[in-house]
């Protein structure tokens, strides 16, 4: 593989709130390379899909390394300011967080990828690249081009926090052809007018900003302990925990409302109590009791914590423990 540094004579700077992968799309469009593969080789990007939610595969790691090197910034800073890592790391055990942190601080080329990470199959929110038309207009006016904003890729967010405008789906699951928002063809309006959806979105956006701003690494252990603490889950016996999980899922459904839950989880479909012919799974029990080594998406943990009325600042949770 070619070394990225020696082949690249210029590289664009990352814009505020720009997603890491967006800069590679912009680079490709101005580099004038004949093929996509040529750009990928030039930048040393490992093959693989460029998805907004991916933070643990080799493509992501090589992209992070290349951008950090060319921009002369630390890997940690690029990850914090331009990727969903600040949110997605919340459900990583501290041991794995430490591994990642160490790798980034020491600028290691090979970053340990937790291969059991982020099962998002049952999550129904839009996982394609999204944008806000007003942001594109503003960006084009101010800097001459539109780019992919990081905050528009936060899972289950449906509005632009600056313009309150509905986010549009580009229909692109990956940026493998280095598309920019102007290349999007299929736009679906997905506005949320539901009050509960708006409250959840505001909380989640504030939480994301809080995670970006604070250097502390709140992880899975804190999420679990916070949940048990605020919802008063008994340590034992097992039947008492099970009974408590039943009560909690009822409370969370009441607070969140089924319309919000069905925009997030596949197993909520209207008022039906079944999913694929079986009783609807108690996602809270499955989340907090599962022995499955796969790490769940942070949304599973955050939703019941939000429903309990906690602040969107994770560093405050650990103080209450």
Minimum CB separation of residue 194 from Zn ion in Å reads 20
Stretch that binds Zn ion, among 70-78, 105-113, 129-137, 205-213 (CB under 5 A): 129-137
Site string (31-70) toward Zn ion, x via CB under 5 A:
----------------------------------------
321 binds Zn ion (CB under 5 A): no
132 near Zn ion (CB under 5 A): yes
Question: Of 38, 127, 163, 313, which one interacts with Zn ion (CB under 5 A)?
Answer: 163
Among the listed ranges 77-85, 156-164, 207-215, 272-280, the one in contact with Zn ion (CB under 5 A) is 156-164
Count of other CB atoms within 10 angstroms of residue 247: 13
Contact between 104 and 111 under an 8 Å Cβ cutoff? The reply is yes
In whole angstroms, the minimum distance from the beta carbon of 151 to Zn ion comes to 9
Which of 88, 160, 207, 223 lies at the binding interface for Zn ion (CB under 5 A)? 160
Write out 250-300 in H/E/C secondary structure: HHHHHHHCHHHHHHHECCCCCCCCEECCEECCCHHHHHHHCCCCCCECHHH
Q: Does 133 bind Zn ion (CB under 5 A)?
A: no
Q: Whole-number minimum distance, CB 17 to Zn ion, in Å? A: 10
Of 19 and 40, the one with the shorter C-beta distance to Zn ion is: 19
Q: Which stretch binds Zn ion (CB under 5 A): 128-136, 196-204, 219-227, 273-281?
A: 128-136
Give the span between the Cα atoms of 180 and 217, in whole angstroms.
32
Q: Does 154 bind Zn ion (CB under 5 A)?
A: no
Q: Which is nearer to Zn ion, 142 or 271 (CB)?
A: 142
Q: How far apart are CA 101 and CA 103, in angstroms?
A: 5
On whether the CB atoms of residues 289 and 234 are closer than 8 A, the answer is no
CB of 160 to Zn ion, least distance (A): 3
CA distance 291 to 286: 9
Smallest distance from Zn ion to CB 206, Å: 17
188, containing H or E segment: strand 188-189
Indicate the residue among 73 and 133 with the shorter CB distance to Zn ion.
Answer: 133
168-169: strand order across its sheet: 130-131, 168-169, 188-189
What Å distances lie between residue 285 and 12, 27, 174, 273, CA to CA? Answer: 46, 46, 33, 16
134 belongs to the binding site for Zn ion (CB under 5 A) = yes
The helix (run of H) or strand (run of E) holding residue 221 is helix 220-230
Is there binding between residue 15 and Zn ion (CB under 5 A)?
no
Burial 116-136 (b: 16+ CB within 10 A, else e): ebbebebbbbbbbbbbbbebb
Minimum distance from residue 165 beta carbon to Zn ion (Å): 5
Give yes or no for a contact between 132 and 160, defined as CB atoms under 8 angstroms apart. Answer: yes
Task: Report the residue number, 133 or 214, with the smaller CB distance to Zn ion.
Answer: 133
Judged by CB under 5 A, the stretch of 154-162, 183-191, 258-266, 269-277 that binds Zn ion is 154-162
Q: How far is 207 from 223, CA to CA, in rounded Å?
A: 13
107 lies in the binding site for Zn ion (CB under 5 A): no
Footprint of Zn ion (CB under 5 A): 132, 134-135, 160, 162-163
């Amino acid at each position: 593989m070619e070394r990225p540094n020696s082949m690249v004579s210029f590289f664009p700077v990352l814009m505020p709130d720009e997603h890491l992968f967006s800069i590679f799309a912009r680079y490709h469009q101005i580099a004038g390379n004949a093929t996509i593969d040529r750009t990928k080789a030039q930048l040393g990007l490992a093959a693989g899909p460029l998805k907004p939610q991916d933070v643990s595969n080799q493509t992501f790691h090589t992209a992070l390394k290349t951008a950090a090197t060319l921009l002369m910034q630390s890997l940690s800073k690029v990850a914090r300011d331009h990727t969903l890592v600040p949110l997605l790391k919340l459900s990583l055990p501290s041991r794995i967080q430490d591994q990642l942190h160490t790798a980034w601080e020491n600028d290691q080329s090979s970053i340990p990828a937790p291969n059991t990470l982020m099962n998002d199959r049952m999550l129904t929110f839009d996982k394609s690249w999204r944008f806000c038309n007003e942001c594109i207009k503003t960006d084009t006016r101010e800097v001459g081009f539109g780019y992919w904003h990081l905050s528009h890729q936060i899972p289950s967010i449906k509005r632009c926090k600056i313009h309150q405008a509905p986010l549009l789906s580009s229909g692109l699951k990956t940026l493998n052809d280095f598309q920019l928002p102007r290349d999007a063809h299929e736009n679906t309006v997905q506005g949320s007018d539901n009050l509960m959806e708006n409250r959840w979105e505001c909380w989640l956006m504030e939480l994301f900003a809080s995670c970006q701003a604070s250097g502390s690494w709140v992880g899975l252990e804190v999420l679990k302990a916070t949940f048990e603490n605020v919802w008063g889950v008994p340590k034992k016996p097992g039947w008492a925990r099970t009974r408590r999980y039943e009560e909690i899922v009822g409370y969370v459904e009441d607070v969140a409302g089924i319309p919000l839950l069905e925009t997030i989880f596949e197993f909520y479909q209207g008022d039906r109590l079944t999913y694929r012919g079986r009783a609807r799974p108690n996602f809270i029990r499955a989340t907090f009791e599962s022995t499955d080594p796969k790490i769940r998406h942070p949304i599973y943990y955050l939703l019941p914590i939000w429903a309990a009325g906690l602040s969107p600042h994770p560093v405050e949770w650990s103080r209450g423990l």
